[in-house]
Amino acid sequence: MPATPLIAITVADPSAQAEPAIAARKNDLYVEAIRRHGGEPVVLDARSSADERRAALDSMAGLLLTGGADIDPGRYGKPNQGSVSIEPARDELEAEAYAAAAARGVPILGICRGFQAINVFRGGTLLQHVDGHVGAGWGHGPAKEHALRLVPGSRLARILSPTNPRAGATTVNSYHHQAIRSSDLAKGLVASAWAASPEGDLVEGFEAADGPFLLGVQCHPERTESTPDSFERLWRFFVDACRGPIAAR
């Protein structure tokens, strides 16, 4: 893999959002996080042409699936029981991108919606609404936060706390109203972080049980004003993984 890995990033189409300027700035935060650690982002959204998609997905060294609207519950065989702002064209783009990344064995990182999308694409389901995990929208006030319990010894714990991978807790931002319970988790994924909720414990981080690098988190680590500094290591590790297995060790 190249020293500057090309990383495909799937994002919301700003022109289709209620606040296009804020949506564009949200997208920029992902781009900045990848560039801070030496990656070369290639951004795709629902407007990207077939040729643009093909070029990015055929050459990517890694895939980042980002935050945004709810996933169509039909994709995991459920009626709508609280899903809002569904964007089928984005679902289609990200299903295509995930399939290409999985087929090629490149590293995959999912953030918030992207975390949920990976679970759905691998055969899991979602809890379509949970109270208490969403506050003011980004750009409209301080983030809601909650405690996050890391699974000691998990890959996520080793990344966030390399000198003490048995460490168990931190605090993260919370911008989601949908969630993954243990019963929703797709086969082959293992929980690496948990958070309490009125619906019981929620999976807020997972990783692949084996195979190529695949990791997801429910929080938004690109929003650095409300994220522990330790999550900067997650971005660095992901970009290093996209350089190849030696660099990521």
- The catalytic residue positions are 112, 220, 222
Contact indicator for 39, 7 with CB cutoff of 8 Å = yes
C-alpha angle 98-52-240 in degrees, rounded to nearest 5: 50
Q: Helix or strand or coil: residue 35?
A: helix
Spatial separation of the C-alpha atoms in residues 247 and 194, rounded to whole Å: 29
Contacts of 161 (CB under 8 A, 6+ apart): 150, 167, 230
Spatial separation of the C-alpha atoms in residues 169 and 47, rounded to whole Å: 40
Count CB neighbours of 123 within 10 A: 13
Q: Helix or strand or coil: residue 88?
A: helix
Q: What tokens were used for 30? A: 């992902």
Residue 145, CA distances (Å) to 194, 221, 226, 230, 233 in order: 14, 12, 8, 16, 20
Contact indicator for 40, 15 with CB cutoff of 8 Å = no
Report which of 48, 22, 39, 27 is spatially closest to residue 241, judged by C-alpha positions: 39
